[in-house]
Chain A
Amino acid sequence: MDLINPHVVDLSRFQFAMTALYHFMFVPLTLGLTFLVAAIETVYVITGRRIYRDMAKFWGHLFAINFALGVATGLTMEFEFGTNWSMYSHFFGDMFGTPLAIEGLMAFFMESTFIGLMVFGWDRLSRPAHLAITFLVAVGSNLSALWILIANAGMNVPAGTHFDPDTMRMQFQSFVELVFSEDAQAKFVHTSVAGYVCAAMLIMGISAFYLLRGRHRELALRSFRIATLFGLISSVAVITLGDVLGRMDYAKQPTKIAAIEGLWHTSNPPYAPWAAFALPDDAKQENHFEIGIPFVLTPLITHSFTQPITGMHELEDQAAPRIRSGIVAINALKHYGDTHSSADLATFRAHEDDMGFGFLAMRHSPNQDTSAITEADLERVVHQTQPDILPNVFATFWAFRIMVALGGFFFIFFAFSTFFSLRNQLESNRWLLHIAVWAIPLPVMATEFGWITAEAGRQPWTVFNRLPTFLSSSSHTVGYMTFSLIGFILLYSALIVAEFYLMFRYARRGPQDHTSHDTTLSGLHNAQGGHF
């Protein structure tokens, strides 16, 4: 009775990951496409050449198609915390809900109001005014990324919040600490700029497709030029910020960085090799096969030649006393709920920092109740809980490597593209154009693997070192979860088919078929004028 069913937790995780990854196929594109369109429109305003106006409209329309699905799938994300992670919402919502609500107030309204003007307002606004609107849409979409990443950073490195035993939750205490935490800053810039790369690749790919077919040459050559420069600088920024995030994880999330590097034993600087290839085995807690490059790991992560990186076995050893102390904290906390005695509170305060590890031990306690652990049983519980502090090493290790490899490829590819584009030799280097077409989905894949690295690497916590994932989910039945999962899979599959059908159709048709009807259209937008 009242026990947590691990299958329900796993199904909830699967559903969240599926819907988040799906949502994240559309979001990065919108982050970058808006600024790219703004760049194109800037050229239009400066030079006054009509082709740039056509370009801005064409790519802007592609953005609008994408935006609809981003909005639709974003609804799921906003509601899923409540429908599937009730304990998490209760425990962390006081802090976590705030950036989410601000996201709506500050970003969603801005985007969805101005996107109408951006698409329909060409003939109603002066050129600079329309450009300003385009920039506002771009800033709006990036602000929404900002707030959701501030919230996400709060899960990874809780800042500006403290635990309150009277309400049994993390209470919000500092807005400034939350918003300006280092982790939030670096995560936002990394993700936003990764979105720029996605958009640059999409525009280059479609332009390359036209060039290969010899269609829309004027539009394609110019678009390619703008996008490749945009992508080149962005890819450098993505790599820089990725490095910053690595160092931050090293300081604040040692389990994540150890899993990313497949590091079972503490490294010995400076020789410690960086595993370029390995097959980590989570059950046996070792790597089956490893190709390492010596002297790379230490400077890569720590930017020094002397600091060691703690391995996963050592992290498990360090966790043992924290688990024991955490069990004391949880028992005191539970008791405090009934008695409200100051003695219990004092005990809890003494062990508060290890509270999360006590929650983690619940899983292996008799009836998931830490107060039922006997003296004789304690070491068994501690021993079984120790490996639980690690994320899935195989997934984290490989997701990270795929992301990094793709990131490196983008940089090289953008460098070549920029070189040939600046020399106007694109059309004589058809191999490059072919790569560009096939590379369209790659940046989106890279961002998805980036999400997996960050969030799989955060496990077993939803609030790092505070609340374990297995406690966070709602107490549903397997039946409920099966129902919603099947529904999501059917609905999302149908949507993706429709989306790709429309996107491909639109891209194939090209800009000519999209001659504008703004004058008539802008009339539509008025149905509401002055009524409310």
Chain B
Amino acid sequence: MTAYVILKLLWTGILGFLLSALGLMVGMDMGVGTLLRFVGRTDPERRTMLNIIGPHWDGNQVWFVLGGGAIFAAFPSLYGTSFSIFYVVMILLLFSMILRPVAFEYRSKVENKHWRAGWDVAFLISGFVPMFVFGAAFGNVLQGVGYHFLWTGQYIQDESFWSYLLNPFAILCGLMSVALSVQQGGAMLMLRAEEPIYSRAKQYSSLGGLVAAILFVIGGVWMHSMKGFMLTAPVDPNMPANPLHGQHVAMVKGAWLTHFTAHPLLWLIPIIGTVCMVASSFCLRRDHVGLAWWLGAGSWIGTIGTIGAAMFPFLMPSSTAPDQSLSTWNATGSAYGLTAMLVVSSIFIPIILSYTSWCYHVMRGRVSVHDVINSHDSY
């Protein structure tokens, strides 16, 4: 195994970690946004909910930006191709994400019923749409996406965007992702809020976990009858990062399960995921909220881990030109680029974590509804 192969594997692992962290941390905020109008019935209640995640959203949004930047730097071809192929959906995602920071900053600055109601809808959209798109993207990627490359490296799209939106499996994945975010957002509200928000959040979040578990199992069964992708000839993992040459791939029914049959230990990943989802709902019902939050983290890791275990080494397989499927071996940056990014992140991530926790330390204390209503500058 050469250094370049190790770098490729390492960055694929980091990609999986980033996607799980993104689903977890961003999903939590998004879940609160989705629940805003259902859990909060009066304006002070809604403001309390917003202020519970108020200190988070900015930092969490940066994880989202960083996710984009990291894919750009470490998987440039994947970044360019996937973002372009899912254009219409990505633009919808962008619009809803743009609404978020603005909604936080503007909503409570003006005391007008319609103004605030309008921004509440913005929160609903910007909570639901991104999570749905995030999940649906995985659903589409699992089924393969229609594209091929020209000799220059330019991709050509072979399908209409409608097939990415009106696609039962993708809708299932999208709904599962929304369910997980509702569970996580509700757990966050239960951790920080008092009655009546607490009980309402409890109902929604415990339901969210169960729905996610059911959808996850249905998705797993579905994979049996779905066409997956598999390598038909051995590849050189050290190959130059160019999707045009060096891979031979076939679309085979049930191919996504071949890794699981070959290595039965891998079944542990989906099992842990499902158990986490169910157990988390159970804990929420029994008011063990802190434990439920961590089980929620386990649900995300189990879900993304399952997809990774099924697909490796594929990142975004092509259904119309399977040989050109983007994979761990042909879609990464150069060895120099990957090394540079690795060095920079291992310097800065500890620094970020330390000053972030220092800030939390400085700002420690409890939140109260009274403060939210009486202060000028809260959200």
Contact = CB atoms under 8 A, between A and B. Distances in A.
A531 B156 CA distance: 46
A114 B359 contact: yes
Nearest to B155: A86
Contacts of B355: 110, 113-114
A406 B143 CA distance: 56
A82 interface: yes
Interface stretch (B67-75, B177-185, B298-306): B67-75
> For the complex, would chain A's binding face be called helix, strand, loop or mixed by DSSP majority?
helix
B65 A495 contact: no
B377 A168 contact: no
A105 B352 contact: yes
A334 interface: yes
A337 B245 CA distance: 9
B100 interface: yes
A332 B53 CA distance: 57
B65 A474 contact: no
Interface string A514-532: 1101001111111111110
Nearest to B109: A502
A83 B372 contact: no
Interface string A461-505: 000000000010011100010011001000100010010001000
A287 B355 CA distance: 57
A330 to B, nearest CB: 9
B235 interface: no
A517 B374 CA distance: 9
8 contacts: A75-B65, A109-B356, A113-B58, A168-B152, A168-B242, A480-B161, A526-B360, A526-B364
A2 interface: yes
Interface string B241-261: 110110000000000000000
A101 B342 CA distance: 11
Interface of B: 51-56, 58-59, 61-62, 64-66, 68-74, 76-77, 79-84, 87-88, 90-91, 94-95, 97-102, 104-106, 109-110, 150-157, 161, 191-192, 240-242, 244-245, 290, 293, 333-334, 336-337, 340-341, 344-345, 348-349, 352, 355-356, 359-368, 371-372, 374-378
B98 A526 contact: no
Contact of B334 (A92, A94, A483): A94
Which 3 pairs across A and B sit closest by C-beta, in order of nearness? A93-B76, A82-B83, A89-B80
A172 B363 CA distance: 41
Contacts of B66: 101, 104-105, 108-109
Interface stretch (A30-38, A115-123, A249-257, A292-300): A115-123
A522 B215 CA distance: 41
A54 interface: no
Contacts of B58: 71, 112-113, 115-116
Contact of A97 (B73, B88, B336, B372): B73
A98 B54 CA distance: 30
Interface of A: 2, 61, 64-65, 68-69, 71-76, 78-79, 81-98, 100-106, 108-110, 112-117, 119-121, 124-125, 164, 166-169, 171-173, 175, 334, 337, 471, 474-476, 480, 483-484, 487, 491, 495, 498, 502, 514-515, 517, 520-531
Given A476-B84, A484-B87, A529-B365, 10 more contacts: A72-B101, A83-B94, A94-B76, A100-B73, A124-B362, A474-B155, A475-B156, A484-B88, A525-B363, A531-B293
A117 B341 contact: no
Nearest to A333: B151
A124 to B, nearest CB: 6
B92 to A, nearest CB: 8
A87 to B, nearest CB: 5
Contacts of B79: 81-82, 89, 93, 97
A334 B91 contact: no
Contacts of B68: 78-79, 82
A509 to B, nearest CB: 11
A73 B366 contact: no
Contacts of B340: 98, 172, 175
Given A86-B155, A98-B73, A521-B377, A164 B240 contact: yes
Contacts of B368: 523
Given A168-B153, A527-B192, A73 B76 contact: no
B333 A93 contact: yes
B157 A90 contact: no
Contact of A105 (B333, B334, B349): B349
Nearest to B115: A498
Contacts of A171: 334, 336-337
B148 to A, nearest CB: 9
Contact of B367 (A88, A168, A476, A523): A523
B362 A89 contact: no
B76 A522 contact: no
A523 B349 contact: no
Nearest to B376: A517
A121 B62 contact: no
A292 B374 CA distance: 64
Nearest to A89: B80
Contacts of B352: 105, 109, 113
Nearest to B98: A72
A335 B343 CA distance: 37
A78 B53 CA distance: 24
Contacts of A476: 84, 87
B367 A524 contact: yes
A115 B57 CA distance: 13
Nearest to B364: A529
Contacts of B333: 93-94, 97, 172
A275 to B, nearest CB: 39
A90 B98 contact: no
B77 to A, nearest CB: 5
